């Protein structure tokens, strides 16, 4: 098959076991490996690139087995977290590196094409130390693509970028995938990058896949507690916390909708009413999306959002809570659907 394919890939190093991992990254698509530090994302990417030996399993690129090939013969455009730009070479000579190594007769012209593509023409004679973070990212991208790779492997590509540069680079990456029709396997610990770029999303935890699916399946399908917490969801209530909430009558309602891992109560599903109630205000903050009020409701601590100001509400006040049951989601205890 075309594209990148991993089957039953396993490896062990320094007490850490990764896998077995099965992955398919078709041409023109981006699979994003997401997970906390130590989940095994970078280990999997480096094994795919050929810098770590796999213990079991197969890695194929366009049907060609790669497990025994050295990194220089695998055909990947690999970009490490630091980008790995050569500090002693100008932008132009960085981009030209692969073409020089392969002895391409038209190295300068081909490098020029990618330099222009990434709008690096005015920076061509500068050294990496003279560039901004965003410019360095573009150079890394141009250099990887100038080698005409059959797939891109990218480790934390948008690290240390401001929002504007990040958005711009996300756009460029998407265009490149579309134009070049090559697969991209990308590692990040940042859910925002992952959700913005991924055709398919793979969440890793301690060397195992915890979620696999399209980003939109996260909204439609059921989530496990780990994935939901990692993706930044708030108000993850366990069944025990729901049972001990401040209103026994409503606890039954909530429990009836909960999964084995409890219930996700999105902040926008919760509203408060000042006056006598079963919840106590713990804090009130203004955020970019409106007023945020954290309340203690029996054994449950939840955050609610409101576009309107909370009036004279103070920490310690009693409030009544209402929850829109149509917006709550059940949580699985472990693996999610789609895996």
Instruction: Supply the DSSP string of 136-152, one letter for each residue.
Output: HHHHHHHHHHHT--SEE
71 forms part of the interface with another protein (CB under 8 A): yes
77 forms part of the interface with another protein (CB under 8 A): yes
Contact 295, 321 (CB under 8 A): yes
Q: Shortest gap between Cβ of 180 and another protein (angstroms)?
A: 16
For residue 35, what are its two tokens? 């997970």
Which is nearer to another protein, 84 or 298 (by Cβ)? Answer: 84
Contact 268, 290 (CB under 8 A): no
Report which of 204, 195, 207, 202 is spatially closest to residue 35, judged by C-alpha positions. 204
72 forms part of the interface with another protein (CB under 8 A): yes
Which residues touch 282 (CB under 8 Å, ≥6 apart)? 294, 295, 296, 301, 315
CA 309 to chain centre: 33
297 forms part of the interface with another protein (CB under 8 A): no
Q: Are strands 262-264 and 329-332 parallel, antiparallel or unpaired?
A: antiparallel
What is the total count of residues that contact another protein (CB under 8 A)? Answer: 30
Q: Shortest gap between Cβ of 34 and another protein (angstroms)?
A: 21
85 forms part of the interface with another protein (CB under 8 A): yes
Q: Are strands 56-61 and 64-65 parallel, antiparallel or unpaired?
A: antiparallel
53 forms part of the interface with another protein (CB under 8 A): no
Contact 61, 13 (CB under 8 A): no
147 forms part of the interface with another protein (CB under 8 A): yes
105 forms part of the interface with another protein (CB under 8 A): no
Q: Are strands 4-13 and 16-25 parallel, antiparallel or unpaired?
A: antiparallel
Which is nearer to another protein, 42 or 227 (by Cβ)? Answer: 42
* Residues in region 125-144 near another protein by CB under 8 A: 127, 129, 143-144
Exactly one of 13, 58, 64, 86 binds another protein (CB under 8 A); that residue is 86
Exactly one of 51, 248, 260, 315 binds another protein (CB under 8 A); that residue is 51
Exactly one of 21, 30, 33, 49 binds another protein (CB under 8 A); that residue is 49
Exactly one of 15, 87, 275, 311 binds another protein (CB under 8 A); that residue is 87
User: Does the bond joining 20 to the residue before it have cis omega, within 30 degrees of 0?
Assistant: yes
- Which residues of this protein are in contact with another protein, per CB under 8 A? 49-51, 70-72, 74, 76-88, 97-98, 101-102, 127, 129, 143-144, 147, 153
């Amino acid at each position: 098959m075309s594209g990148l394919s991993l089957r039953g890939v396993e490896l062990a190093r320094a007490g850490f076991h990764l896998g077995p991992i099965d992955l398919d990254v078709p041409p023109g698509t981006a699979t994003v490996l997401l997970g906390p530090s130590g989940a095994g994302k970078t280990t999997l990417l480096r094994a795919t690139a050929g810098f770590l030996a796999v213990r079991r399993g197969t890695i194929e690129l366009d049907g060609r087995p790669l497990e025994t090939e050295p990194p220089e013969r695998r055909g990947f455009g690999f970009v490490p977290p630091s980008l790995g730009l050569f500090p002693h070479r100008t932008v132009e000579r960085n981009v030209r590196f692969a073409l020089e190594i392969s002895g391409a007769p038209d190295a300068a012209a081909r490098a020029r094409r990618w330099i222009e593509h990434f709008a690096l023409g005015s920076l061509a004679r500068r050294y990496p130390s003279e560039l901004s973070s965003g410019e360095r990212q573009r150079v890394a991208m141009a250099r990887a693509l100038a080698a005409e790779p059959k797939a891109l492997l990218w480790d934390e590509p948008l690290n240390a970028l401001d929002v504007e540069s990040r958005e711009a680079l996300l756009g460029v990456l998407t265009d490149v995938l579309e134009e070049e029709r090559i697969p991209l396997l990308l590692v990040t610990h940042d859910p925002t990058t992952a959700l913005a770029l991924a055709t398919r999303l793979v969440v890793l935890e301690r060397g195992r896949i915890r979620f696999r699916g399209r980003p939109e399946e996260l909204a439609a399908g059921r989530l496990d507690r780990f994935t939901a917490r990692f993706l930044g969801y708030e108000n993850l209530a366990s069944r025990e916390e729901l049972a001990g909430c401040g209103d026994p009558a409503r606890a039954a309602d909530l429990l009836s909708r909960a999964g084995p891992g409890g219930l996700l109560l999105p902040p926008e599903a919760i509203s408060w009413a000042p006056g006598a109630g079963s919840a106590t205000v713990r804090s009130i903050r203004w955020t970019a999306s409106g007023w945020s009020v954290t309340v203690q409701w029996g054994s449950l601590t939840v955050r609610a959002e409101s576009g309107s100001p909370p009036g004279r509400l103070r920490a310690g006040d009693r409030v009544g809570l209402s929850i829109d049951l149509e917006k709550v989601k059940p949580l699985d205890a472990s693996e999610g659907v789609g895996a």
